[in-house]
């Protein structure tokens, strides 16, 4: 250890941001060697009796932080009447605890903590909370306590009013820490650099490099005062000696002195899991040390653990603004008030046919076996047709081949294959064997797609060479299978184990040898993880069970009117996969499916003609480009489109004038725009005739709920927030909440988000119409009218709140767009709430402001016309070349970004490019 030791324990300064000095106390306790040591402890209720708190959170920091890490949790817990007592320790040699000059190994720190807990005389329910290497220490302590008989009481919380009960470990909360580490592996992440010979002292004790680097990881950056507070106990080399020793104690290699202790902790975690201890894993996915490997390891070792990935968090996960709220809610639901699982939720209330049932039936019927199941269009107008019989056979072969390759039920398989026969057969093969398909749209972009695939913790990646090259460069997890033609050299370079063709051939051989059919997955088993578009924040993985996926397919079939003898042209990738489940031929047009706007009218017409399709599904951006290129259609192509009876567009609002123009191309079709989301689709259904009959209103009419769905409203309060109460009162404005059997099962590794999404209190008229847990808060705002129709008025996050009113954006935008020349508008608020004003940022028709290339303040006449139409006293009307929209649909306006940009412009700042 460094010179200048020992150093006494002291209390922190009284002016640290977010830290209440009344929490500080010094406590003496014997360490692992029996020597009395002095600890600094953050304690929110040192004098609390057993009836004053519901339990104690024992929080242990890692390296190079101290108990200050837990100030947010301490503050949030203290704000709750009869809440949790937070006891956060500064480990010896760290923080403001004593610097003894003693080298402390992992096993020593576990015993040190046990001695301190005994000295503190903690009793009742104790939840162990740890971060970084503190998570390993506190996990070891919890396992030891369990072995000593301090396990969680099976019957739940006691109701005794007698003497305080002995300490019981009631739960475990860990954040970016380890449950294990292979003995033959190098140091995790960037720690391998710090452990290089001669480097460790220079970056840990002799300088603040390690400390400052850790504090620089959070995004957005920590305030300067918070960083200074973290550095406070580590000003001198002697004070930083513990940082150096902690890094040196990372058990790298089988011969490291702390290897046996880490192995003991790993065994202890297994014991905690076997005991069913409630466990919450909070994770920052941008951590350069505790990478995704550690999270996957936790999930494997503690399968029942609840996991929440804080999307933007890095290493210091407890610094995330949602961390404290997530932990406290989890404690309430899993520790204080645990409920028995809803056994009825494992299967749909009304069983739906297996996803592959229609495929098997069509293939087995001589009348349909040779008819096309999938038609893939090429840019030159030719097509590849795959019959039902061939598709079913290839599905069976792939199922058998994937099983032979080692794909097992429950394993996750990322599918990065363009829509068509290969993707369809692969998906249904994986469903057959019980694997979980992970589907993320390439439209998310490289970063978004990488985040989705990596976060899902996939075991396999099936993709085209371009996708597999990205997987290799970006170090995605999982073994590789290639789709399409790939050379042997490319296979080796990409680390591919087999091609789909090889998998199918292997499967055919196994089937010929009499291989048994795969065991049918249970309805409640996970079937797919479907990622949202990312248009309203980081893309989320939405988990569907086999039963729910089958329910979803049936609901979609009824809504978009497809089935046997009703071929579908799908220009929106996810819906191409529902065709076989409904017995419908699916045609994939010649286009880049990741960019809907690449679909031309001619390509659509050729796809319709290829199978005499009666239904067409287009993304909103595809609708726009089809209309823009309709002048290029030949008479034959126009005739083909004239036979379409059902046109559907979903994913984002489609303006009524656009739908009316579509009818000119497809006169037999009543254009329909089902409303829903990845989490629940469809929710409502509406046609152009319904919209016209509804007339003008506040927002966009999205029709009535489809069969089996209930739509309710969570009214907004004066702050623009949606409460828990659900009503069906006409005219009540609030968050749109949807209930039904085909609502998602849960968000993947987003426990807190999932809990919030189903958090509702239905009114008496709604109670019992939807089972608990089958609700979904959409994040949209709107209302129900007297006819039971749903009107969407924008996103909850885009509601503009002033000192006097709460204004939803879409109605104002629609009225602005009614002014000649305004093509598209975004309504935003400018300034602080007490003095907030309104503004509109708009795209204009070319003949209004020809060749607009930069931001322009509208002329007084146009601005006054928009003010009059909207009925709002706008502080400004800004004209721009383009508004920023989402990637997948190219139509959802990012109003939050527009508002922040407009505020900078009107403040005279350099605002930069908007879109």
- Tell me the average pLDDT across 14-34: 97
CB 284 within 8 Å of CB 219: no
Q: How far apart are CA 173 and CA 281, in angstroms?
A: 6
Lowest-confidence segment of 221-225, 294-298, 386-390, 474-478 by average pLDDT: 474-478
Q: What is the pLDDT of residue 429?
A: 97
Q: Which residue, among 477, 459, 360, has the nearest Cα to 409 in the 3D structure?
A: 459
**164, pLDDT greater than 50:** no
Residues 883-899 pLDDT 10s: 887 544 445 788 988 99
Examine the pLDDT at 96 and tell me if it is beyond 80. yes
CA distance 71 to 87: 11
Q: How far apart are CA 560 and CA 669, in angstroms?
A: 12
Q: Say if 23-336 and 800-906 have the same CATH topology.
A: no
Q: What is the pLDDT of residues 672-687, one digit of tens each?
A: 888 999 999 899 999 9
Is residue 162 pLDDT above 50, yes or no? no
Q: What is the pLDDT of residues 727-758, one digit of tens each?
A: 999 999 999 999 999 999 999 999 999 999 99
Can you tell me the distance from the alpha carbon of 667 to that of 570, in angstroms, rounded to the nearest whole number? 19
Q: Which CATH class is domain 357-588?
A: alpha beta
pLDDT at 875 over 70: yes
For residue 151, the model assigns a pLDDT of: 63
CATH topology of domain 23-336: Rossmann fold (3.40.50)
- Per CATH, the homologous superfamily of domain 675-798 is Luciferase; Domain 3 (2.30.38.10)
Q: Give the pLDDT mean for 325-329.
A: 98
Residues 107-124, mean pLDDT to the nearest whole number? 96
The phi, psi pair for 573, rounded to 5°, reads -45, -50
Q: Is the pLDDT of residue 1 over 70?
A: no
Q: What is the 3-state secondary structure (H, E, C) of 92-132?
A: CCCCCCCECCCCCCHHHHHHHHHHHHHHHCCCCEEEEEEEC
Averaged pLDDT, 635-641: 95
Q: Model confidence over 766-805: pLDDT tens digits? A: 988 999 989 999 999 999 999 999 999 999 999 999 999 9
CA distance 788 to 790: 7
Beta strands 541-545 and 526-531 are: antiparallel
Q: Grade residue 536 by pLDDT with cuts at 50, 70 and 90.
A: low
The pLDDT assigned to 154 comes to 45
Q: Between 275 and 154, whose confidence is greater?
A: 275
pLDDT one-digit tens code per residue, 481-523 = 999 888 888 889 999 999 999 999 999 999 999 998 889 899 9
Query: Cα torsion at 259, 188, 222, 298 (round to 10°)?
Result: -70
% of the chain beyond a pLDDT of 70: 94
Distances (CA, A) of 428 to 107, 169, 508, 803: 50, 44, 16, 54
pLDDT at 915: 65
Query: What is the DSSP code (8-state) at residue 722?
Result: B
What are the sequence ranges of the domains in the chain? 23-336, 357-588, 675-798, 800-906
Q: How confident is the model at residue 557 (pLDDT cuts 50, 70, 90)?
A: confident
Name the fold adopted by 800-906. Answer: GMP Synthetase; Chain A, domain 3 (3.30.300)
Q: Is the pLDDT of residue 153 over 50?
A: no
φ/ψ of residue 36, rounded to 5: -70, 125
């Amino acid at each position: 250890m460094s010179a200048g030791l020992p150093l006494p324990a002291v209390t922190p300064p009284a002016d640290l941001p977010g830290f209440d000095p009344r929490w500080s106390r010094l406590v003496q306790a014997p360490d692992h060697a029996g020597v009395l040591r002095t600890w600094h402890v953050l304690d929110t209720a040192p004098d609390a009796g057993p009836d004053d708190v519901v339990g104690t959170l024992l929080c242990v920091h890692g390296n190079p932080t101290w108990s200050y890490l837990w100030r947010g949790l301490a503050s949030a817990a203290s704000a709750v009447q009869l809440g949790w007592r937070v006891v956060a320790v500064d480990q010896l040699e760290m923080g403001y605890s004593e610097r003894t000059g003693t080298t402390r190994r992992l096993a020593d720190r576990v015993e040190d903590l046990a001695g301190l807990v005994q000295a503190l005389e903690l009793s009742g329910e104790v939840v162990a909370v740890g971060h970084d290497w503190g998570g390993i220490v506190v996990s070891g302590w919890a396992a030891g306590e369990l072995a000593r008989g301090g396990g969680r009481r099976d019957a739940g919380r006691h109701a005794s009013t007698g003497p305080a009960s002995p300490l019981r470990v009631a739960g475990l909360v860990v954040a970016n820490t380890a449950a294990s580490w292979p003995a033959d592996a190098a140091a995790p992440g960037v720690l391998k650099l710090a452990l290089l010979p001669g480097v460790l002292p220079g970056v840990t004790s002799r300088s603040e490099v390690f400390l400052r680097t850790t504090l620089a990881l959070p995004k957005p950056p920590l305030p300067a005062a918070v960083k200074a507070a973290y550095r406070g106990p580590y000003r001198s080399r002697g004070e930083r000696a513990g940082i150096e020793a902690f890094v040196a104690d990372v058990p790298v290699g089988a011969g490291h002195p702390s290897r046996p202790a880490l192995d003991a902790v790993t065994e202890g975690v297994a014991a905690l899991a076997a005991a069913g201890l409630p466990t919450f894993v909070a994770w920052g996915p941008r951590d350069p040390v505790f990478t995704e490997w550690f999270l996957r390891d936790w999930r494997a070792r503690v399968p029942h653990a609840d996991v929440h990935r804080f999307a933007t968090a890095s290493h210091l996960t407890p610094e995330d603004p949602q961390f404290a709220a997530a932990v406290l809610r989890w404690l309430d639901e899993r520790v204080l008030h645990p409920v028995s699982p809803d056994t009825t939720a494992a299967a749909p209330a009304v069983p739906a046919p297996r996803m592959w049932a229609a495929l098997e039936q069509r293939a087995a019927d001589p009348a349909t076996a040779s008819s096309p199941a999938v038609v893939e269009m090429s840019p030159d107008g030719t097509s590849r047709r795959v019959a039902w019989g061939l598709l079913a056979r290839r599905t069976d072969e792939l199922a058998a081949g994937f099983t032979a390759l080692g794909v097992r039920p429950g394993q996750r398989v990322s599918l990065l294959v363009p829509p068509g026969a290969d993707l369809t057969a692969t998906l249904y093969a994986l469903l057959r064997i019980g694997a979980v398909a992970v589907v993320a749209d390439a439209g998310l972009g490289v970063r978004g797609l990488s985040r989705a695939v990596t976060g899902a913790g996939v075991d396999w990646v099936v993709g085209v060479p371009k996708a597999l090259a990205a997987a290799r460069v970006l170090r995605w997890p999982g073994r590789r299978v290639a789709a399409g033609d790939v050379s042997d050299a490319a296979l080796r370079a990409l680390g591919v184990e087999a091609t789909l063709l090889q998998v199918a051939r292997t499967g055919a051989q196994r089937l010929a040898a009499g291989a048994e059919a795969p065991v049918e997955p249970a309805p409640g088993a996970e079937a797919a993880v479907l990622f949202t578009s990312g248009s309203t924040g980081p893309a989320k993985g939405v988990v569907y069970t086999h039963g729910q996926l089958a329910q979803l397919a049936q609901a979609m079939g009824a809504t978009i009117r497809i089935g046997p003898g009703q071929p579908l042209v799908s220009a929106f990738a996810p819906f191409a996969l529902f065709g076989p489940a409904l017995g419908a031929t699916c045609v994939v047009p010649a286009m880049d499916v990741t960019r809907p706007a690449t679909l031309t009218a001619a390509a659509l017409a050729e796809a319709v003609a290829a199978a005499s399709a009666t239904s067409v599904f287009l993304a909103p951006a595809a609708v726009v480009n089809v209309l823009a290129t309709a002048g290029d259609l030949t008479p034959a192509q126009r005739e083909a489109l004239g036979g379409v009876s059902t046109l559907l567009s979903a994913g984002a609002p489609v303006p009524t004038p656009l739908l009316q123009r579509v009818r000119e191309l497809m006169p037999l079709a009543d254009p329909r725009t089902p409303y829903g989301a990845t989490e629940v689709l469809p929710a409502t259904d509406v046609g152009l005739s319904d919209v016209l009959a509804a007339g003008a209103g506040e927002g966009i009419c999205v029709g009535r709920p489809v069969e089996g769905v209930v739509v309710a409203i969570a009214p907004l309060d004066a702050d623009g927030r949606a409460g828990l109460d659900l009503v069906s009162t006409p005219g009540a404005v609030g968050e749109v909440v949807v209930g039904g059997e085909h609502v998602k099962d849960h968000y993947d590794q987003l426990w807190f988000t999932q809990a919030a999404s189903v958090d509702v209190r239905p009114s008496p008229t709604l109670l019992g119409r939807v089972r608990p847990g089958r609700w979904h808060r959409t994040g949209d705002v709107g209302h129900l009218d007297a006819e039971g129709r749903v009107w969407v008025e924008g996103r909850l996050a885009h509601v503009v709140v002033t000192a006097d009113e709460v204004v939803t954006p879409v109605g104002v935008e629609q009225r602005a767009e009614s002014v000649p020349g305004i093509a598209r508008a975004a309504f935003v608020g400018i300034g602080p709430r007490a003095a907030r004003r309104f503004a509109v940022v708009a795209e204009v028709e070319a003949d209004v402001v020809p060749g607009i290339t930069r931001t322009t303040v509208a002329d007084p006449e146009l601005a006054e016309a928009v003010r009059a139409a909207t009925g709002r006293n706008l502080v400004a009307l800004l004209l721009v070349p383009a508004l920023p929209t989402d990637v997948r649909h190219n139509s959802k306006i990012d109003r939050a970004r527009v508002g922040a940009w407009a505020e900078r412009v009107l403040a005279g700042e350099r605002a930069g490019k908007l879109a």
